[in-house]
C-alpha cells in the first residue's frame, strides 16, 4: 500500500504551516486516508521551536473546527528531505531557504502550496504565496485559512493517484 508524506513549511512554524497541517489533516481524515497520507510541518527559522501555534492562528482555526493546539514549532533539518516526499512551502522566501539546505537530488520535493489550488478556483488565480499574517490583524489569519482550504483540496486531489500507483 502506497503512502505519501508531506511537510508544510513556513518561516516560524506558528502561523501558516500549522494552519495548512490542520486543514489538510481534516481533509485527509474525512477521506479516510490518515494511514496513507502522513503530515507534519516545520519552520525555516528557529525562533519558535517548542512553541504552540500563534494564539490568533489557533483562534481563527478553532472557529472553523480545526484544532491546532497540540502542535509545537520545530525547525526543518536536512533529514526532513529524506523523511518526506514533499516539502510544501508557503512562500518564495521559504522555497529559497529550503533549497539552501536541500541535497541536490531532493530538490524536486520542494513545492509551493498555492500551486495546488485548482485552476477552476478563480479567487486565487495568480496567487503564488500564502500571505504572512504575523505582523497584521485578525483578517490575515482568515485569509490564510481561505488559502489553505483551497490549496489543500487541490493537494489531496493531486495525491490520490500516487496512492493508487
Sign for the pseudo-dihedral over CA of 48, 53, 54, 57: positive
CA–CA distance, 158 with 36 (Å, rounded to integer)? 14
What minimum distance in Å lies between the beta carbon of 53 and ligand 4NP?
8
Question: 91 is written with which cell numbers?
Answer: 512562500
Smallest distance, ligand 4NP to C-beta of residue 135, A: 7
Catalytic: 132? Answer: yes
Query: Does 97 interact with ligand 4NP (rule: CB under 6 A)?
Result: no
Query: Which listed range, 12-20, 34-42, 119-127, 149-157, lies at the site for ligand 4NP (CB under 6 A)?
Result: 12-20
**Rounded to the nearest whole angstrom, what is the least distance from the CB of residue 10 to ligand 4NP in the complex?**
3
Three cell numbers at 146? 481561505
Label the pairing between strands 4-10 and 86-89: parallel
Q: Which of 15, 16, 25, 40 is catalytic?
A: 16
74 lies in the site for ligand 4NP, by CB under 6 A: no
Name the residue nearer to ligand 4NP (CB basis): 12 or 154: 12
In terms of DSSP bridges, do strands 37-43 and 110-112 run parallel, antiparallel, or are they unpaired? unpaired
Amino acid at each position: 500500500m502506497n503512502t505519501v508524506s508531506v511537510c508544510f513549511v513556513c518561516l516560524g512554524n506558528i502561523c501558516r504551516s500549522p494552519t495548512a497541517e490542520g486543514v489538510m489533516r481534516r481533509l485527509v481524515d474525512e477521506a479516510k486516508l490518515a494511514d496513507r497520507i502522513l503530515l507534519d510541518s516545520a519552520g525555516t527559522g528557529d525562533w519558535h521551536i517548542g512553541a504552540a501555534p500563534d494564539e490568533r492562528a489557533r483562534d481563527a482555526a478553532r472557529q472553523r473546527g480545526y484544532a491546532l493546539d497540540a502542535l509545537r514549532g520545530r525547525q526543518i533539518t536536512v533529514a526532513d528531505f529524506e523523511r518526506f516526499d514533499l516539502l510544501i512551502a508557503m512562500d518564495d522566501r521559504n522555497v529559497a531557504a529550503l533549497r539552501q539546505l536541500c541535497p541536490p537530488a531532493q530538490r524536486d520535493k520542494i513545492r509551493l502550496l498555492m500551486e495546488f489550488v485548482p485552476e477552476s478556483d478563480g479567487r486565487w488565480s495568480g496567487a503564488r504565496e500564502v500571505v504572512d499574517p504575523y505582523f497584521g490583524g485578525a483578517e490575515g489569519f482568515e485569509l490564510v485559512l481561505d488559502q489553505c482550504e483551497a490549496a489543500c483540496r487541490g493537494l489531496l486531489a493531486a495525491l490520490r493517484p500516487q496512492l493508487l500507483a
